[in-house]
Amino acid sequence: MSGQYTIIGDLDRTPHSPKNSAFSSFQLQVRCSTEVEQMKELSAAQKRWEAQVRDGKIKALSPKEAGYAVQLSKYTLLDVRPSSERSKAWVKGSVWIPVYDSDKNMDPGALLKKLSTFAMGGWWSGLALMKYNERFMPDLVATVPKSANVIVACQKGLRSLAACEQMYKAGYRNIFWLSGGFDAVEEGEFEREGPQALKLAGIGGISEFLGWTDVQRRAAAKEGFGYRAVMFGRLVLVVLAVDSLFIGAQQLMQRVQMHN
C-alpha cells in the first residue's frame, strides 16, 4: 500500500443531491492514504539498518579511514546515490549502482506524485521524486564479487545502510559503511572527480542558491565574510525579483481592469 493514493468521494451521489446542496459541483479529494504508516515504516527500517552496525554485520568507517582504504586498492567503493547527485561529484574509480534514482515515469500517477514532491519542499531542497532501482542487486552481483571488501556510500549515510541490508541478505560479508556519507567528507580525503565538492553534491533548489543548507553554512563559517557576502547578494536578488514580479502583476491587473 505504500505510496498509493486514494480518491475520496461518494460516487453514488450526484452534484444535485440534497446532501450535496452546499457544493456547487461534485468534488474529488486526492490524499495519501498511508502517510502515517509510511513514516512508521521508515522509522522502524532506520532502526533496523542502524542495528546492523551495532551487531557487527556492517563495519562503520570515517571518511578519512574510507579514503585511506580506497587508496590501498583492496577495497571497492560502491556509490549508491541517484544520478542527480552522482553527476555533480564522484570518487575516482568508484562503482556506481544507485539503490534509488529519479522517477522518470510520466504517467498521470507519477506526475501527481512529482507535483506533490515539488510543492512539499522540492522547490526549496531540489529533491526529486525517487524510485527504487529494481536492478540494484542484479547489477551489483554481476559487477562486484561477494568476496570483495565493499565500502558502501551515499550522500548522507541512510540509503547506503539500506543497501548494506540488501547486500548482507544476498551473501556479502565484507561490507563497510561510510559513516555520515559524502556530506561528512572533506576535500582531499578521496580522489574526487566532477565539478563540485563531494559534500555539496546533495544540495539543490532555492536553498542551494541562497546558501542556506547545512553544508554551506559550515563552509561559510570557515571561509569568512567573502562567502557570506556572495550569499547575501543572492538573497537580495531573489527579493528584488519577487518584488518585480509582484509589481508587474499589479500593473497587469490594472490594465486589464481599464480595458474592461
Cite the active site residues. Answer: 154
- Concatenate the DSSP letters of all residues of 136-169 into one string: HHHHHHHHS-TTS-EEEE-SSSSHHHHHHHHHHH
* Beta strands 192-193 and 95-96, pairing class: unpaired
Per-residue three-class SS string for 209-233? HHCCCHHHHHHHHHHCHHHHHHHHH
SS3 content of the chain, % helix, strand, coil (to 5): 50, 15, 35
Cβ contact 95:125 at 8 Å: no
Cβ contact 66:176 at 8 Å: yes
